[in-house]
Structure 1
Amino acid sequence: MDDTFVYVAGLALAITIPILCGWYLKLNSHSSSRLPPGPRGLPILGYIPFLGPDLLGKVSALAHRHGPIYKMWLGQKLCVVISSPTLVRQIARDHDVVFSNRDTTAAAKALSHGGDGFAHAPYTQEWRVLRKIFVRDMQSNKGMQASARLRTEECRKAVRYVYARKGEPVDVGDLAFTTELSLTMNILRSVRC
């Protein structure tokens, strides 16, 4: 009786697994028929395990293989990658209203009080008002002059950091990132990083 159970269970698995795989492939082929081509990923992880440390090189290689616009699953999130400057310009300038709404990630919600900030808010009348305020107050000459002291101070700190490590290697990319992050947080929230 024990051998019969193992035989029946094995037979059930041998029949069920191909049916489920076929159903999964059929479901994905119908839902993605209107999407651009792209690399196949794993069912739950998507293409994440295949990216590797050189993300820019991998994205460029995928663009050469699949064309200037392709889809890629990152986990359960579908991403459409656009690698052509003319397509990016067309999307960002000509069809910006269509492509402006996007899902807010959990990290963005945590950092921007539920996605209400300028960078993560949906395209609405409120967002247009926030954008006008940003352009008028933050990107104007008056706004740039108001933050000149902070920018100078952060640059001096970066130079002092490099000078203090004379003769030692300095990671310039890390230094530039921390200087910019500290400056941005200081301007926006009066917080030093």
Structure 2
Amino acid sequence: MYHISDDKRSRESSAWIYEALVRLMETTTYADIKITAICQEAKIGRVTFYRHYDTIDDVLRKKCDEAFDGLIEFLFDYKKNAPDEPTFFLKPFLRYWYQNPTILKQLFQAGKANILGESFDTMLRKLRATISLRHPATKYSPYFFALRTTIPIAILAEWVKNGMDIPPDELSETLLHQLKEVVKFNQMG
């Protein structure tokens, strides 16, 4: 877990720790990075690290959670600016990550896609709490939830692996077209 208070000093220390981790990731594999090295790179004491984070993963987790908070804002702004456009989640989702790819790349480089999944799950739960649901919760809801998180993460993983070489709108349209083709095929008797 991370424990960042809202005071300026705490935010600065947290930023120094994250920046130190990023610098170390440029030269060292993530698995070989130690808290001592982060503290030396950030020029802080171990006590300061542990005041903010329990583990190195928590440094990435905090940054990922912040990115997903930004995604929520982006999604609401997107919908507000195009209220009549039928919106599929994938298009604004990909646009956001195309504009904010840093933490994605760091998570995949570190082999920590699980953190991405956890943050995504947290974001969806926040969204569920703030928007009206079209369908009431059922015993199948956790499975639908899992489906809605794993597919976008798998798409992000492949997209990052390929250098985000396809523009987000093109990728979204192509994937949605493919999904429609699958549905049409399955409707054939």
TM-score for both structures, normalised by structure 2: 0.24
TM-score for both structures, normalised by structure 1: 0.24
Structure having greater relative contact order (Cα 8 Å, sep ≥ 6): 2
Higher strand share: 1
